[in-house]
């Protein structure tokens, strides 16, 4: 989805949301509360996008790609599995949005450097950014919201989510390995290290990333520091460094304005629709009960809702009907592992696509949706059934 199209859609959604506020469907107080809830998320997205773009220009991701190419020892499948492991670890400890932004330029650069098709690596990144975000509360904002639910403290959450999270990781990896098996069988010649244009900028960007990654992983749970704060500091430091070196760096084009407009409009419209009866309709469709079929019914509803209206609004709309630990987990499986079909199903997917576009890589949304229609139902079904084994 091109930025212009995204901006137009977002503008239309914002207009509809504004009308909902004016006519009283969505009270101004509720709209403000919604803004306060999503503002930190959008602040983080803007900052981390700038960090990724400037780190790319400084050559940091080229060097990381060189190291990964050497570790792959010339075997495509080994290199791809290395990307899978990194994507899973990054998603679990740094959140799915961080993986989508920071890992995407690395894997695309990596594939191009060694002469392998980039799509298998890019698809592994975006799928695992979504499906791998179930294990820890910090992996996804939906998890943080659910961790405070009935019987799901942080420790209880991890114990209950472990098996479904494992299933949600393994199934997409197997599917991608089958789909791209011919590409992954290829070998490659390990390239010579890429030259660094500005060693000073390279060192500054590398140090910023080294400091940023642990602050994202540990800041919120241990120090109470919201992730947008260190990300913003990192973005400012890099922007200043580029300005001092008189190198083209931070420009307004780096800001994901169209993405922010789209997300704001989408949240307003979905929240307003909830006031008009959407929540009650979803509750009737999702049913009740904690049996395997009951959980599958809820998970199916959540998967469809996430792909229609984004995973976070879908979670907020269905949270009232997920009144037990088992149902909360089933809903999380749906909104974390299910958004593999539409481009707007998760913010991570939109960020991933923006990263690809900035690197002149095109992805067919028709093929993306087709693969997602295969992977999402299988992954969500098996991961949801795994919940019953841990109850």
Q: Kindly tell me if the per-residue pLDDT of 149 is higher than 60.
A: no
Interatomic CA distance for residues 374 and 259, integer angstroms: 27
Buried b (16+ CB within 10 A) or exposed e, 245-274: eeeebbeeebebebbbbbbbbbbbbbbbbb
What are residue 187's phi and psi, to 5 degrees? -105, 170
Residue-wise pLDDT for 27-65, tens only, equals: 888 888 888 877 887 888 788 888 888 888 888 877 887
pLDDT at position 224 is 63
Q: Kindly tell me if the per-residue pLDDT of 75 is higher than 90.
A: yes
Interatomic CA distance for residues 376 and 371, integer angstroms: 8
pLDDT at position 151 is 55
| Domain regions of the chain by residue span | 39-255+343-385
pLDDT at position 296 is 96
The DSSP result for 155-185, as a single string, is HHHHHHHHHHHHHHHHHHHHHHHHHTHHHHT
pLDDT at position 218 is 67
Region of residue 346 (left: phi > 0; alpha: psi -120 to 50; beta: else): beta
Q: Kindly tell me if the per-residue pLDDT of 8 is higher than 90.
A: no
In the predicted model, what is the mean pLDDT of residues 317-338?
91
Q: Which residue has the higher pLDDT, 38 or 222?
A: 38
List, in order, residues 6 or more apart from 208 with CB less than 8 Å away: 51, 55, 234, 237, 238
Residue-wise pLDDT for 108-125, tens only, equals: 988 998 899 999 999 999
Q: Kindly tell me if the per-residue pLDDT of 67 is higher than 80.
A: yes
């Amino acid at each position: 989805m091109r930025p212009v199209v995204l901006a137009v859609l977002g503008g239309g959604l914002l207009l509809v949301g504004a009308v909902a506020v004016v006519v009283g469907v969505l009270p101004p107080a509720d709209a403000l509360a919604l803004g306060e809830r999503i503002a930190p998320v959008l602040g983080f997205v803007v900052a981390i996008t700038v960090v990724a773009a400037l780190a790319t220009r400084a050559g940091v991701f080229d060097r990381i790609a060189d190291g990964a190419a050497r570790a792959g020892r010339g075997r495509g499948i080994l290199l791809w599995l290395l990307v899978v492991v990194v994507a899973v670890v990054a998603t679990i400890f740094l959140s799915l949005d961080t993986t989508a932004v920071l890992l995407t330029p690395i894997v695309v650069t990596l594939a191009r450097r060694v002469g392998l098709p980039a799509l298998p690596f890019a698809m592994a990144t975006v799928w695992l950014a979504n499906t791998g975000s179930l294990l820890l509360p910090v992996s996804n904002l939906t998890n943080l919201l659910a961790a405070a639910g009935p019987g799901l403290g942080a420790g209880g959450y991890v114990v209950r989510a472990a098996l479904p999270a494992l299933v949600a990781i393994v199934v997409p990896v197997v599917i991608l390995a089958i789909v791209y098996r011919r590409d992954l069988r290829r070998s490659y010649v390990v390239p010579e290290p890429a030259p660094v244009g500005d060693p000073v900028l390279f060192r500054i960007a590398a140090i910023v990333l080294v400091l940023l990654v642990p602050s994202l992983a540990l800041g919120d749970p241990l120090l109470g520091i919201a992730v947008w704060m260190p990300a913003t500091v990192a973005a400012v430091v890099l922007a200043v460094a580029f300005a001092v070196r008189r190198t083209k760096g931070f420009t307004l084009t780096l800001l994901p304005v169209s993405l922010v407009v789209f997300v704001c409009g989408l949240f307003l419209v979905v929240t307003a629709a909830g006031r008009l009866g959407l929540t009650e309709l979803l509750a009737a469709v999702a049913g009740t009960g904690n049996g395997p079929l009951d959980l599958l019914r809820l998970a199916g509803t959540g998967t469809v809702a996430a792909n229609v209206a984004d995973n976070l609004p879908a979670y907020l709309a269905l949270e009232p009907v997920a009144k037990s630990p088992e149902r909360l987990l089933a809903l999380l499986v749906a909104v974390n592992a299910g958004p593999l079909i539409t481009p707007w199903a998760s913010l991570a997917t939109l960020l991933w696509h923006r990263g690809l576009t900035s690197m002149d890589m095109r992805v067919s949304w028709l093929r993306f949706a087709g693969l997602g229609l295969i992977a999402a139902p299988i992954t969500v079904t098996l991961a949801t059934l795994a919940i019953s084994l841990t109850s």
